[in-house]
Each structure stands twice: as C-alpha cells, then as structure tokens.
Amino acid sequence: MEAEAFVSKDINHILDVGLSVIPKDSLVARVIGKVREWVAEDGDWMKTRQRIEDSHGYDKFHGVCHVIPNHAIMIMAVLYASTDFDEAMHIINTCGWDTDCNSGNVGCLVATMLGLSAFQGPYDWRGPLADRALISSADGGYSINNAVRISYDIANIGRRLAGYKTLEPPKSGAQFHFSLSGSTQGFQLSRPAGVQQSISATLQQRVDSQHGPGLAIDVENFGQEQDQLEVLTQTFTPKEVLYMKTYELMASPLVYPGQIVTAKIRASSERDGQVVVGLRLKVYSRNDELVTIDGPSATLKPGEESSLIWTLPDEMDSQPIQKIGIALSPSTAISYRGTVWLDSLSWTGVPNMVVRKPQQEPCEFWRRAWVNGADNFSTSSFIIAQGQGEGIITYGTREWDNYSVTVPNFMIKFGAPAGVAIRVQGLNRYYAVFFIEDKRITLVKAVDAQRIELASEAFTWDLDQKYKVILTACDDLIQVRVGNVELKVADSQYASGGIGLIATDGCVSADSFLIAPTSSA
C-alpha cells in the first residue's frame, strides 16, 4: 500500500491493491471489508470506532496488543481522512489502543499520498522534530539519523533494484547539505544559558537564488558582547533517552576525533554589520553533562563566504560527541542584521583516537556509544560475557574504511573463539581475528550465520594472559599481528565499518582500543 501511495491518492484503490496480495477469506481482509461498509454507512468516525470496539475490540482477542483491533482503526482513519493529514492524526490518536504504531503507520501512508502538502496545515509537524530520526539498530552509525539521509538511501535502493544509476550525492557527499525542501536535517537554533533573549533569530531551509539550497539563519538585534547563537544537530544519543525506559536506543556517534570537519558558510549581502561564525561541538563529560568545545572561526562581512576546516583533536577523554554545528556571535559592538548561510557541513577520514573508559567519572554515555550484542557488558570497563553462542559489542560507523585497531591488552577469561573485529557492519558481518580453542589464531569473515576461515596459524595462547592485537584493513588487504604471528588475506566484501569485541561461550576483556588511519601503498 505504501508503494502504491507514491503514485495514487485514491485510498480505495490503494486498499484494493493491498487486498489483492492477501487471501480473500483471511480475517484481515474480512475486517477491512466490514470497516469499509461501516464508514460508508456512518459518516462519523466516532460511531465507526464504537462498532469496531463492539465487534473486534481488545476483549475479543488474546494477548496485550492484538493486530486486528489496531488494524481496523487504522483502516477507519485513512478512509475518513486520507486527504487531511492533521485530521488523520487526530482520529488515530484519539482512538487509543496502540497509538504509537498506529499513528506511525497512518501518518506514513497519508503523508506519502499527499507529499509535502500534508504538512502545510495549521500545525507545525516538522519544526519540533527538525526531520530527526532515532533508529535503534545493530548498525550503530545509522541510528542517529535524519529524513534527508534516509530519503536518499531509500531512493537509491529503489533505483538499484530498477537498474538505474544511483543519485549523485549533493555537495560532494556532505553529510548535511540541506538540499530537500524544508529540511533542516536535525539542526536547531538555541541560545546558551545566560545569553540575552533580545536576539531575534529564525532558522529554515531555503534556496538562495545565487548559491542554491542551504540552511538560513536570519538574525536581528545581534550586537551585545555576550550575545551568542548556536545552530547544532545531534550526532549521538541525547540525554533524554535516560527517561525512555521501554525501548533502549543502540547507537554509535557519527563523528570522532581525527576526522576532518568542514563547514561552508557565508553572510548575505543585504543588511549590515559583521558576524563571527565558528565550529562548535557538544561533548559528554562528568555526570553526563554536555561541555562545549570550539573550533576555527571566521569573521564575515556582508557578502563574504568562508570554509571552516577542523581536524578534531583527541582531547575529549574518549567521551562521545553529541552535537555538532556552528556558533554565531557579533564581531563588534555594532549590531548585526542579516542572514548567515550554512551551505554544508561534512566530515571525512577515519578516527585517530584512543578509546578507553573516561577518567571523568561518574559517566555513562561512553558505554552507550557501543552497540551491545552481548549478554553482559560491564558498566566499569571493556569486559563482555556471553552465556551461550557469540556475543559482540561494536563501535563506529560504515564510513570508516582504511584504518587499524590496536588492542594493547586483550585477555580471554574463559571460552572461545574470542577476538577483535574490524569493518563491522552489524552483528553478523565483519572481519575478525579469533583465538581458537585448539591453540590457533584465525582471520575470519562473518557472513550472517557463517564464519568463514580465511587464514590460520598455530598460536599457543592461555586464559588470563594479555596479548597485543593489531588488526588492519587497507583497501582489500586484511591483516593481523599477535606477538610474532602475522596473517594476511585479500578480501573485498566489506569495504568499511567499525570495530568490535567478541566472546563466545565465555568472557573477554580489553583495556583500550587505538584507532588510526592507514593508507594505500
């Protein structure tokens, strides 16, 4: 139905397409038929809602959240309000039951049918969200996301399936390019604590007639010495997740020390005054408070543009970067009035950093930067235990390509195989060095349920002994060194990905991970 909604605004046609692929005598099909009849007879969604309660309510089915009652009210909502997104949301949320899933499904279908016009009613659906998306995923670098990135990915999946060339990434592949109508890609405007509230400022995606699309920050009354504005977007888990007890968000940060951040900025030629624009990070610290780290800045006169380039320093105590963006402040006592444009913001390269437990205790988010696929992951160190089968914790994103990871003190407490992974793409796709029970080390490729041995050599290892493990990926060359043993293989299936620590039927530990770029010979 959602696929058909891209090409049709006729809800009855879309329902018929969905019904064509399920059995006509199935309970779902029969319920849809009943709801269609009731909607045609009633003309009042509250009356139809009562009919659904009486005939297909929760009390008629086993379990706590049965699909049939919820399916019935979703069908009802789209039949009554397929041309009005606001009303569709009003109906489906007022109906109760499984409101989060129901409103998500109804909202997706109706918004796909109507396009961006769905959000042009009296309510601001996009502003508070800023097109952000939090996706709890084993692919940790995809969890902190936004509608633009997801839209391009979905479109390119469809194009590949159809045999078309994928879309060229806008602005040389910048992660934040503001090319789609109205999307701020998670960027929001804020004022640091204690800053004057007299500043008038707004933030929106717009198209500049000369330069094309970008993020426009319109500023008035910007002239006091203490005035400052922040325009930031999330790159890691926000602190609010501590209050979200039902679903745990698994995520890794998007950006890391050693990577090169570039922001292209300009000031509009209209208006007057000068403005200072600088790169800014928000990083977790002691007690999980966010601290500010500022990078390069430039002073812009009307009509001037600049590129801010910053190699992020490894001076953050292994704490995750939670936000990135720019900060604005006046350059003189003369008030600035005008528009500052953030044309794009991007980062390139792989990390050059040490990952260890931070010294700034107490703190928790260093651990939340790892996707936990193990039975137990210590809250105080890199110790994982797996009662049965394989357990893994992972860190990083699929943008990491040519790099090495060194674990100075890798230790197996008990159980095997156990090891260190590189170019991790989820829980079951990676390269790894494994310490095997029969006193060997092996280079392994994980492909879903398979563990394919690529190279192996005898190595007499023992429990509770520390080993220095160096694992390197450069182009299609994967190699490992443990002591005097070195293994090398050529394999090109995984071109990029993060790191991992693996235990099987046992427990392993590591004190730190040293990540550094490698280059082709």
pLDDT tens column, 55-69: 999 999 988 889 999
Q: Please give the single-letter amino acid code of residue 328.
A: L
Q: Two tokens at 370? A: 């790892």
**Of residues 203 and 222, more confidently modeled:** 203
Angle between helix 27-42 and helix 11-19 axes, rounded to 10 deg: 160
CA distance linking residue 91 with residue 73, whole number of Å: 9
On the question of pLDDT at 352 being above 80, the answer is yes
Name the maximum alpha-carbon separation found in the chain: 81
End residue of a domain, out of 119, 143, 166:
119
Q: pLDDT tens across 487-504, in order?
A: 999 999 999 999 999 999
- Count how many Cα atoms sit within 13 Å of the Cα of residue 181 in the half-sphere of its side chain: 5
CATH (domain of 256): 2.60.120.260
For residue 244, what pLDDT is reported?
76
Q: pLDDT tens across 116-142, in order?
A: 899 988 899 988 889 999 998 899 999
For residue 194, what pLDDT is reported?
60
For residue 228, what pLDDT is reported?
84
Q: pLDDT tens across 142-160, in order?
A: 999 999 999 999 999 999 9
* 259, 253 Cβ separation under 8 angstroms: no
- Banded model confidence at residue 337, pLDDT cuts 50, 70, 90: confident
User: How many residues would you count in the chain?
Assistant: 521
Q: Two tokens at 428? A: 């079951």
User: CA nearest 217: which of 347, 327, 345?
Assistant: 327
CA distance linking residue 35 with residue 498, whole number of Å: 49
Q: Is 317 left (phi over 0), alpha (psi -120 to 50) or beta?
A: left
For residue 246, what pLDDT is reported?
73
Q: pLDDT tens across 166-193, in order?
A: 999 999 999 999 999 999 999 999 887 6
Pairing of strands 429-436, 440-447: antiparallel
Q: Are residues 331 and 200 in the same domain?
A: yes
> Could you tell me if residue 130 is inside a domain?
no
Strand-pair partners of 433: 420, 443
Q: The tokens 């699909």 sit on which residue?
A: 67
> Could you tell me if residue 97 is inside a domain?
yes
147-153, Cβ contacts within 8 angstroms, sequence gap of 24 or more:
147/180, 147/183, 147/185, 148/177, 148/178, 148/179, 148/180, 148/183, 148/185, 149/175, 149/185, 151/180
For residue 259, what pLDDT is reported?
98
Q: pLDDT tens across 278-307, in order?
A: 999 999 999 999 999 999 999 998 889 999
Q: Are residues 32 and 98 in the same domain?
A: yes
On the question of pLDDT at 201 being above 90, the answer is no
> Could you tell me if residue 150 is inside a domain?
no
Q: Are residues 259 and 395 in the same domain?
A: no
Q: Are residues 192 and 338 in the same domain?
A: yes
DSSP structure class, residue 500: E
Percent of the chain with pLDDT over 90: 81
Q: Are residues 335 and 392 in the same domain?
A: no
How many structural domains compose the chain?
3
CA distance linking residue 252 with residue 87, whole number of Å: 37
Helices (H) and strands (E) in the chain, counts: 9, 26
On the question of pLDDT at 196 being above 80, the answer is no
Residue ranges with strand state E in 235-320: 260-267, 275-284, 290-300, 305-311
pTM for the whole structure: 0.91
Q: Are residues 388 and 299 in the same domain?
A: no
Domain region containing 9: 2-119
Q: Are residues 107 and 202 in the same domain?
A: no
Q: Two tokens at 110? A: 């109706």
Average pLDDT over residues 198-218: 89
Average pLDDT over residues 429-447: 96
Q: Are residues 343 and 414 in the same domain?
A: no
Q: pLDDT tens across 236-253, in order?
A: 999 988 887 777 889 999
Q: The tokens 């109507």 sit on which residue?
A: 114
For residue 83, how many other CB atoms are within 10 A of its CB? 14
